[in-house]
Amino acid sequence: MLINVPETVVADALRGMAAAHPELIVDVENRVIVRRDAPVDGKVALVSGGGSGHEPLHGCFVGPGMLSAACPGEVFTSPVPDQMVRAAAAVDSGAGVLFVVKNYTGDVLNFDMAVELAEDEGIQVAKVLVDDDVAVSDSLYTAGRRGTGATLFVEKIAGAAAEEGRPLEQVESLARKVNDNSRSFGVALDACTTPAKGSPTFDLPAGELELGVGIHGEPGRERRAMMTSREIADFSVDAVLEDMNPRNPVLVLVNGMGATPLLELYGFNAEVQRRLAERGVPVARVLVGNYVTSLDMAGASVTLCQVDEELLRLYDAPVRTPGLRWGG
């Protein structure tokens, strides 16, 4: 691994982020990343966070059009409530703060505690839970569905709404609408390795894959012998569409888990688009790349989000973050 020692991996990464992105304020000691112009007068602030190892989620999604602040925990470990309250206080303009929380037990408990602490400090807070993964209903880390690729769509669309100056209740409602209209399914071709463990986090024999894997390596629906890109796309898209029946066009995220090159991801996207066309699902926008990763796991996930004109307009709105950037 390209590291010094496992104990300083997150701090070292944050120091490097600070050096690369002067538009962000990176508090290495307190583990908080804030857009430099925060708080923005009259603007609802978006705060998210989670364990490190999923980059660019969340820290690289801080900036105009997306998050106001992010709280990175240790690798695959939830940030603590003090981080979340510190982030909320740093970005609150008086218009309120929306916490975007992936559905993992540690994240949910700590963000719930942070809501209470922030409200004690006079900060108006709302919370949206992301639970888009259709692979399993419960997992090693979760009661209910896991939060995965839809987190990007929630943060992007809610961030655009906040940028327009909408009130907290509207930003919260839009974030919930995005999550309710999103579904994801992931596949692992190889296990990931955490810096602390130094070896694969789960056993996946050569020549096999895990269908429905979680972003921490949680088990999915089943293991099978290696499949072609076409077969994996059919299985993944069908698994998502079993759980949703989109009547409107969809946003498509073909997401790499960290170790799968773009050459393979674009080839996989071709198969995903073929299968969506066969199923009669119209596609509005497509995003391909590593956005919600699992360290060095090989594999990919597919996320679909059904959109109307308003959601599509907000998705297309300008965004300027280290991990996502388009528009004016």
| Separation between Cα atoms, residue 262 and residue 137, nearest integer Å | 30
User: Do 214 and 139 contact (CB within 8 A), yes or no?
Assistant: yes
Considering just the CA atoms, what is the radius of gyration of the chain in Å? 19
Q: How far is CA 115 from the centre of its chain?
A: 20
216 is catalytic: yes
What is the separation, in whole angstroms, between the first and last Cα of the chain?
38
Strands (E) in the chain, as ranges, are: 24-27, 32-35, 45-52, 69-75, 97-102, 125-130, 182-190, 208-211, 222-225, 250-256, 283-289, 298-306, 319-320, 325-326
Question: 21 catalytic, yes or no?
Answer: no
Active-site residue, from 54, 58, 86, 183: 54
Tokens for 180?
A: 């309710």
Q: Helices marked H in 60-104 — which ranges?
A: 81-91
Looking at 95, 216, 253, 302, which residue is catalytic? 216
**Longest alpha-carbon distance in the chain:** 55
Three-point CA angle 75, 177, 186, nearest 5° = 40
HEC string of 263-321 equals HHHHHHHHHHHHHHHHCCCCEEEEEEECCCCCCCEEEEEEEEEECCHHHHHHHHCCEEC
Active-site residue set: 54, 216
